[in-house]
Amino acid sequence: MRHKALLTALAAAIALTACTVGQQQPTSQTGGTAKKEISFLVFETPNLTPQVWDAAIKRVTDKYPDITVKKLVSPTEDRVSYAKQLLASGQFPDVMVAVSPAGFAESGAMAAFTPEELKDFVAPGNGAVNGKVYQLPANTQTIPVVYYNKDLFAKAGIAAPPKTYAELLDAAAKLKAKGITPFVIGGGKDPFASTLLWTATLATDLYAKTPDWMAKRRAGTVKFSDPDFVKAAAKFADLAAKGYIDKKDISRDYAATEQAFLDGKGAMYPMGNWFAAAGDDPKRKPDWEIGAFNWPGDDGATVVPAFTGGGLSVSATAKHLPEAKKFALAYTLDKTNLDDSVHNDGLYPAIKGYTPPSDTGTVFKLGYDLYQQGLRDGKIVQAFGWEAGDDGLLPGVVDKWRAGAQDLITGGKTVEQVTAALDDEWSKAS
């Protein structure tokens, strides 16, 4: 009975969150065939509104009038879990955006893209699962950039962004002494918003030293309970223990977290470069200046944690598989869609020959310049918790990692307990 109830609830959810973009056309009098409908799973944020998705979809259906699109909206930012629910209920979307292929690809649920289909991408092999690419490597995201409130820094007597980890701790202490929350975080229904500081410490203390650490973890030669991973986790937990993170903020969802920073409720906001869309939005831009810096290491060395991927995937069992792939590629490579992804979501399209529009905002340029400098210096590393395919965590482990982040913030579990739980979850997933 519980299984039947779940299916009924899922069907109701889909009915509430689905709409068709492009009107169904009758068969033409000249012998043409009816349109082929595909379903497309998206997610909404303050930047990615229903209007943004509808316009992007329409650009493709205008180009390919044989395709009509049924838009499905994930009820939360966690579209991976929602996609899993839809797969279990036999309602897996034909096309989906930003759904990690981990687990789906291995089970045969997603269709692989061919080298010819990937010829226009800068990093065509990124996110591969057993050598095959199931998610278009459409854009690069730096995770996190540390955005900061220059007014609050000045109020606390901080003249410049910290260059070392010791200076970062000193800045946090000065902010706290002035009654200012040093770091803005979130969580709630969007648990990823609790993890960004941990991704940052893992970049400087794990990946900077061992860039192929995830490959070693898959080979079984390293563990989460090893010293480098534990050190990064301990740094993260220590920020909460010192009161530099407000523990109650893990109940705040992503949209509210973003708005809290824009409202001046904290000094530093570690977040993906997509925050630039909000920071540059004239309707939301604060009356104080936003700055940005890379998370510093102990010795002052910095790296830029980045992930290239995040694009569209296609169901292997889509009723109209050729059309689903055609839509996914056309949607991704459309110049206006690419420009809009920069404006609406602050992304760095990883498409050959693409250059961001000249009218990007100042906050976008802050993050983009940090990324370009990282490229020039050879300082790009993986963004832990965001990797995909063979470079990423095994299915299910990312959820345990996000839960562990919240446990470290609240003090509900020790570093040792959290890292041991990750090793246990890895063994189960293996």
In the predicted structure, residue 19 carries a pLDDT above the cut 70? no
Task: Give yes or no: residues 21 and 71 share one domain.
Answer: yes
- Domain boundary residue, one of 353, 384, 408: 353
* Cα of 284 vs its chain's centroid, Å: 21
Residue in 290, 273, 297, 406 with CA at minimum distance from that of residue 349: 273
- Lateral strand order in the sheet of 145-149: 268-271, 145-149, 290-293
Please give the Cα distance from 202 to 195 (Å, whole number): 11
Task: Give yes or no: residues 129 and 7 share one domain.
Answer: yes
Domain count of the chain? 2
Q: So what's the pLDDT on residue 374?
A: 96
Task: Give yes or no: residues 265 and 401 share one domain.
Answer: yes
Task: Give yes or no: residues 38 and 122 share one domain.
Answer: yes
| 300-358 confidence digits (pLDDT tens) | 999 999 999 989 999 999 999 999 999 999 999 999 999 999 998 899 999 999 999 99
> Looking only at Cα atoms, what is the longest distance across the chain?
76
Phi/psi of residue 312, nearest 5 degrees: -90, 145
> Contact 197/236 with Cβ under 8 angstroms?
yes
Task: Give yes or no: residues 343 and 209 share one domain.
Answer: no
In the predicted structure, residue 26 carries a pLDDT above the cut 50? no
Is there a domain that residue 387 lies in?
A: no
Task: Compute the residue count for the chain.
Answer: 430
Task: Give yes or no: residues 412 and 267 share one domain.
Answer: yes
Task: Give yes or no: residues 133 and 6 share one domain.
Answer: yes
| 254-297 confidence digits (pLDDT tens) | 999 999 999 999 999 999 999 999 999 999 999 999 999 999 99
- Domain boundary residue, one of 327, 353, 379: 353
Share of the chain above pLDDT 70, in %: 92
Task: Give yes or no: residues 115 and 45 share one domain.
Answer: yes
| 32-72 confidence digits (pLDDT tens) | 568 999 999 999 988 889 999 999 999 999 999 999 999 99
Is there a domain that residue 371 lies in?
A: no
Q: So what's the pLDDT on residue 5?
A: 38
Please give the Cα distance from 267 to 161 (Å, whole number): 11
Please give the Cα distance from 273 to 279 (Å, whole number): 10
| 174-204 confidence digits (pLDDT tens) | 999 999 999 999 999 999 999 999 999 999 9
Is there a domain that residue 100 lies in?
A: yes
Task: Give yes or no: residues 313 and 261 share one domain.
Answer: no
Is there a domain that residue 347 lies in?
A: yes
* Cα of 424 vs its chain's centroid, Å: 25
Give 30's pLDDT tier (boundaries 50, 70, 90).
Answer: very low
More confident residue, 396 or 229: 229
Task: Give yes or no: residues 6 and 133 share one domain.
Answer: yes
- Residue 189: give its domain's CATH number: 3.40.190.10
Boundaries of domain holding 266: 144-271+393-429
Task: Give yes or no: residues 177 and 267 share one domain.
Answer: yes
Neighbours of 193 (CB within 10 A): 26
> Contact 57/331 with Cβ under 8 angstroms?
yes
Give 6's pLDDT tier (boundaries 50, 70, 90).
Answer: very low
**What is the pTM (predicted TM-score) of this model?**
0.84
Identify residue 3 by its one-letter amino acid code: H
Task: Give yes or no: residues 8 and 135 share one domain.
Answer: yes
